[in-house]
Chain A
Amino acid sequence: MTAINDYIDSEVKSQDVVLFMKGTPGFPQCGFSGQVVQILDYLGVDYKGVNVLTSAELRQGIKDYSSWPTIPQLYVKGEFVGGCDIIREMFQAGELQSFFEDKGIAAKAA
């Protein structure tokens, strides 16, 4: 395990819901990251945003961590759930809401 991998691993497990994104939840710097922020905010779940633009090493490291070539990436209880398209499809199908419920994560808007 490299240092960046250890760091990502600890970030992923630091909270129930962690979003690796470009920019911050308050100021997304990419439309795809912004869509996931909007969905999570709409559902009212607590989450931590990790801005990958702060470090090139982190930006590459998160792609290697889950063998997933794009950002954003959403993790729930340490498990990789998907990128923007998958989260949006799950949300539109009503599956994201039940996924959070199954994981015991409170969605305030539900």
Chain B
Amino acid sequence: MTIQSGIEAKLREAFAPERLEVINESHLHAGHHHADGGEHANFDGTGETHFRVRIVSEAFADKSRLERHRAVNAVLEGELAPGRVHALAIDAAAPGEPTRW
């Protein structure tokens, strides 16, 4: 299973989302590297290092932005371990809230 499909499966199970998109944005970060070399020394853009999650779920109703992000981060804790997914952008909304996707 790819990291991408693993993220999708975990989010569907945890949040039963109305809408969900998991986008691999790693190609946007090709050539991006960190001088410290502590994580990935270099990204060639072909891997699964940078993701964007867009999710609409009833589970986020009455939750603050911080709480929504913490809930998503907790479900994806394994993926966010050092050396795996380097960056995760999150757009989390409850049904009825404006989205731009």
Contacts and interface: CB of A to CB of B under 8 A. Distances in A.
B65 A82 contact: yes
Nearest to B68: A86
A59 B66 CA distance: 20
B34 A89 contact: no
Nearest to B86: A70
A85 B35 contact: no
Contacts of A80: 66
Interface string B42-72: 0000000000000000000000011001100
Contacts, number: 43
Interface residues of B, number: 19
A22 B34 contact: yes
B96 interface: no
A22 B34 CA distance: 9
Interface in A66-85: 67-70, 80, 82-85
A32 interface: yes
A82 B89 contact: no
Nearest to B66: A82
A70 B70 CA distance: 11
Interface of A: 22, 29-32, 53, 56, 59-60, 67-70, 80, 82-86, 89-90
